[in-house]
Structure formats: C-alpha cells, structure tokens
Amino acid sequence: MAPKMARAATRGNAKKRLVTRKSSFAPVIDAGTRLLVCGSLPGDASLAAGRYYAHPQNQFWRLMAPVAGIDLPVLDYDARLAALLGAGVGLWDVVASARRDGSSDAAIREIAGNDLIGLAESLPQLRAIAFNGGTALAHGRRLLGPVIDRWRIIALPSSSPLHTIGLAAKQPAWLALRDQLV
C-alpha cells in the first residue's frame, strides 16, 4: 500500500513541476479601435500556433463574423485580424502571464495582469471593452478598477470549447457587439 501512495505522490509532484509560465500575445489594435475584445489567456493550441483563438473548436471567429460583417473563418489569420481592425475591433488578453496546466481558465495561477488601463486610454475611439468569458471579465474588472466607468463593459459567454453551450445560445450576446461599431 505504501509504494502505491509514494508513486501517486511522486506523480503529483512531477505534475506541479511541469506547469510552466504562459504569456499572452501583443494586442491587435489601431487608432480606429472602437471595441476591444479581451480574453483571459490563450490556450495551449493558440500558444503553439502563435495566434489568437487557434483551437479549431473555439467559436470566436464564427461568433465575430456577423459582428464584423465578413466570413472570418474562411480567411487566413492575417486577413482575419485585418478584417477585425477594419471593423473597429481590437483583441487582447487580461492576463499578461500566469502558470497554468492545460488550457482551462480554472487552472490559471500566479497571474500578472496586462496594463488594460494604459491600452484603453491609448485608444482615442474606444467605446467598449468586451470580455470573452467569466474569468476575463473578473480579471478585467479588477484591472480597470476605479476607471471602469470610462467605457461600456460587456460580458460575453466564452467562445472556448470548454464552455459547452452551443453557438446559437452564445450568438445573441455576441451580435450585440455590433452596436459599439456604428
């Protein structure tokens, strides 16, 4: 019995040592950004690809297509980013870096936040900040603190494949983002 417990403890300790610090990407913004969509921290598929929302089951590009007025999923990555910017939409994450085993937001630990206030204040056309999921919203509110009322804050259902409600259930909240772009 004791050898089994020792092996289990060793596996648990090894797993703790394998959790690496992960960092977010640079913001995708320009002077015409009217809406900033913030996630929490890119998942492992996105980090491996070096692209926002790279997991094939993440619904972000399908949810944003009607907002931007263009079929984003059929475009290559650079064209997707250009289309978002052309529509007045920027991207970033609230977490600059953190330790996380896997891709789940629930596993994010030792968070260093991005300078969300500094970025938002540098965008002269910014009207609203939308948060993709509850973790992004919670950290975003904390980062914005006393200046949160400068912009409209929008909570969105997560586009992550881990958030298992269907695309149709998420779409109305995402479609409402169009109001910030007119």
End-to-end CA distance of the chain: 67
DSSP symbols for 79-132: HHHHHHHHHTEEEEESEEEEE-SSS-GGG-EEEEE--HHHHHHT-TT--EEEEE
Smallest CA-to-CA distance from 136 within 46, 39, 55 is with: 39
| Residue 13 is a catalytic residue | no
Selecting among 13, 58, 114, 132, the annotated active-site residue is 58
Quick count: other Cβ atoms within 10 Å of Cβ 175? 12
Q: Which two tokens stand for residue 36?
A: 């900033």
- The SS3 of residue 159 is coil
- Residues recognised as catalytic: 58
